[in-house]
Structure 1
Amino acid sequence: MNHMLQKLLLSVFVLVCFSAFLNAQERDLAKGTKKFNQYAFVDSQKIFLRVAEEGYESADLFAKLADSFYYNADYDDAAKWYAKLVEKYAQEVTPNQYFRYAQALRAIEDYETSNEMISKYESLAETQGTDYDNSVSISELKSGNAMGTFTVERLSANTVGYSDFAPAYYGEKLLFSSTRDTGNLTRRVHSWNNQPFLDLYVGDIVDQGQLNGVSKFNGSINTEFHESTATLSPDGKTLYFTRNNFTNETYRTDKRNTNKLKLYKATLADDGTFGNVVELPFNTNSFSTAHPAVSPDGKTLYFSSDRDGTYGESDLWKVEITENGFGTVENLGADINTPGRDTFPFVDADGKLYFSTDGRGGLGGLDVYVYDSEKSSISNLGEPVNSPKDDFTFIFDAESGNGYFASNRQNDPLDDDIYTFTREACESTLIVQVIDKNTRKPLNGARVGIRDIDNELLTSGVAEAPDAKFNFDDPDCGADYFARAEMEGYATAEKNVTIPEQSSEVTVVIELEPSIVDIPPDFDLGKLINPIYFDFDKSFIRPDAAVELAKIIEIMKEYPQLRIDVRSHTDSRGIDSYNMALSERRNKSTIEYIVEKGGIDRDRLTGRGYGETQLLNECSNGVPCTEEQHQLNRRSEFIVQDY
């Protein structure tokens, strides 16, 4: 950041340390008439509930049960099964499952647990390398426009060789800090660098954010010491600003003889000037308090300080502004503050908190970040706002898209300049394409719905020919949306998408899987379940295989006339004759399990072992293969017979 602020404002101590979707939509499905219309029939609620009631457990079983309730808007039961999934199979829970669980909890007003699941979702997504927290790599930051399209221009009102920084809105004017030499021969200079002390200046904002008529700020605020980083209350009656510890004409230091920074306020007088300067009550001589920012509603004052409880060199803090003064000072917490310098806060009209820090990597020096409390996300603004040098004192008018910040990117570190910028309007389009998962062909006529993070249906319509596309125009940049597609004869599917901060065309492809509404002859029911695997050279039923066989049992109960031919296979390792005998033993074990555990009539089951005679890959005798390749051949098939 501005080393003038570092070296001038903070004396010796610390130079610049202050320097839901996924909630199911209403479904127009006739209950009880389509048993197997989603995730194939084996995954219907009825079958999975029966499996679960038999005492079988697996992550896959609980997840599909939870999803089936979730997609039917039964959030109480969805939350129950997601809870079982998280409790017993935490290591197998996917980010999306955590997210759906959180949305289900929100729907039943369990907000505390929902937030916990959102945290797990974000943590797990991060470990898998997905950019869920809006953080970006250095190369992405340097590519520009990380948080939108900015056009940046240096103010012509900057003074060469002097520091200009800390812009602040002051009605139709711009208030800022400067060490500029006004030609006053008696002006004091700081003994540390032979430059004048900081004072507040003001200028008229004209075309493209430039300034005219710059002059020293009127009133009794400027003194022989430093005045800097000011902010005007929303009602225009109070000005908060930073000054050296100089109160009532008395210059004070701490025990180490270091003069700290303090916050002061001045009130508007009848003549239009600010005076009656008062030190704020939460200052002390032992630490610095600086760089104020008032919330848009005028109820909260943000600032930077190295007071007790600070996580790093300086932290961001806040305090309530009351009718009688101020409330209790609060640290903004470790989610925002870092071990480095967190400083120069500003809150825009949308409630977004902008600040500078060197504790998050970034491009170098102080970088400008934005904290979005609604998303609980912190993002680096990237170039051209940030640079390898210090970038700080960022302010922004969200309505006009114009703003200012300071940087020493072009000059000596002691020579900060103010830059004006325009953030261009973001105009994006979200395109949803719906295709058949197996054939990859477009599903023209599919129904598409777009919902926001709070499960509000924003728009819906039909995926139109020839490419089965549905357009959602003008989504909010930086917002999260959820797109769902459904079509008769297919399982409903959905995807979440984040719209970039800059103008873009985002395309999301949703793949719908055909539903099985009937069981054709010669169909392998094994395709509808997870593979039935046996350990090498073994024929006993493993626990994971028991769960899958339970699904076969429920299918046979659902269809009493169904007959199945069970076919057991081995891999090629071992003697051919031995493998044939092994497959026979596995076949017998499989059939006996279905009969004894499931209560299925033995006459409905036939089968035999095929040994290694029907391999699925090239892993025959003598061919080197991985364990995974061999495992594919150690399988069971459940072939539907005529019924």
Structure 2
Amino acid sequence: MKLMRIVLLVLMTVWSQSIFAQRVRLLDRHINHPAYNSVYPAVSGDGKVMLYMSDYSDDGSFTLMKSDYRAGKWQIGEDVEGVGSSKVNNWGGYALDYDGKSIYFSSRRSNGVGGFDIWFTKEINGKWSRADNIGKPLNTSANEGNPSITPDNQRIYFMRCDRMSTSIAEGCKIFYSERGPRGWQEAVELPDYINRGNTTSPRILPDNRTLLFASDRSGGKGGIDIWLTKRSGDHWSEPINVEAVNTSGDDLFLTTSLRSIAYFTTVTDEGKKAIAELRLPENLRLQNVIIKQGAVRDEFGKPLAAEVRAYDLDEEFYETRIRTSVTDGKFIMILPEGTTYDVSYNEIRLNKLYKSEFVDATELVAPRREYPNIVLPDLTASLIFPLNVFSFKPHTSEIDTKSTLELSRLKRMLKRYPNLSIEIGAYQKEYLEEPNPTTEDLSEVRIDTLITYEHALRVDTMQNHHKDSLLIVINTKLASTFDEDTTHANVLHARMASIDSVAVTRFVNVYHNNRTPAQADAVKANLVEDGIEESRLHSIGYRDETPPVDFQQDKERMIVIRFLSDPKSN
């Protein structure tokens, strides 16, 4: 029995090693030349560009290479001239932005701020620009290195170290800085439970939530290991050891694509260093995300300086805030799955109409790319637009709290233009009414008048068959005649004049779902409560009229704003 257990254990070990071997794959000869070394990969967020170092050079020294992913494979690498000599750069201390058009790296070249500084270069018309120092407050008199920028370009992670050389970094901790209206802000240190030991080489991944880093903290496989932590709001999870790629030696750099394909340095059977790929274990994989990569322009195609924001409606925090440039108006926004978002686009000076959208990312099968072209029109009289991120609590006229930001945008516009008057129109897809409240949506009730005619005298059907039949017909029709059909009722009244009968009035309840007047009034009341003059607001409910704009998918109700005056008139 003991022998059988040993055999089973050996078989399971061989099987697990075989599975692991199948999962790890060396990249082909375009990257890994059998006679040379290739190390320290860094992949762009869109997975189309890779940086790495190779000694495949004229003098045998390591140089920075760039490869593009085309036609299902990585192409032959080319030298990157903008970064300069590896003799002054920290090896592996580089990263790409989301679309691979900018390189951020660490170097001790001249004209810096301190020791090793953070520098960057951009690809313009197929050539890399002269490197620029990112400047203060990120760079200090100490050593800053291994920068990694988020896909939306709004936050940068880096290490700040006591000692650095081209190949060594000691006494390091990880910091981040956020981009403000005037540039990068003061750096913030990550929590102590992440910065434990010598903590280096941060890599923020394309989901904008997962951070990889290297550390000699306890609990690893030995030496320096790769660790992983995930962000939720402002909180970072307890780091997890990425056992699938760590060894007993020093493991420094790991990068992944959106589909959780990890790239790292390994050693071949021939003793050469090479770049391999591995699909991360399920518990370490990136969240699925929606990537919005677009531009904000006016109706004539001119780029606009705008605020682009995504607010997590469930957790109630801003996932991202971006300010576009008048140069190109471009932005990249990452929306992780598992929640819903209020996404808005606002021209900085409020001279254009804002745009908003409700984004449902609760369940994503895979990463989804979108390329929106956001057009913000000029503010003119008779402008019509819907409140896209707006709703009422189910079966009521009470405004849902998730509508707060949409109302705030409308209020800001009304306060910016005090001469603007608007119509607040409430629409619904289908009007329903029943004599009984058969569904929750039939929340409203009105009282209708019903008139029936009853016999004043007992009718002998044997002697007055004609009169009895006529009473039955008329009473049947009157029973289905409500006060809306007054013409038909009056005709029947006249016909009854010669019949010996008595009119009986009854009051009946009619249940319906027309909450549009109350809902329009609720929006108006909310605006008035926040200081907008009531005289500038006209609310109206449209029970079953066709709205001037289309309903959103899965929406049964809508608020539409119509300008009643020119907002820019004096």
Q: TM-score range by the shorter chain?
A: 0.3 to 0.5
Q: TM-score, normalised by structure 1?
A: 0.35
The structure carrying a bigger strand percent of its residues is 2
- The structure with the greater share of residues assigned to helix is 1
TM-score by length of 2: 0.39
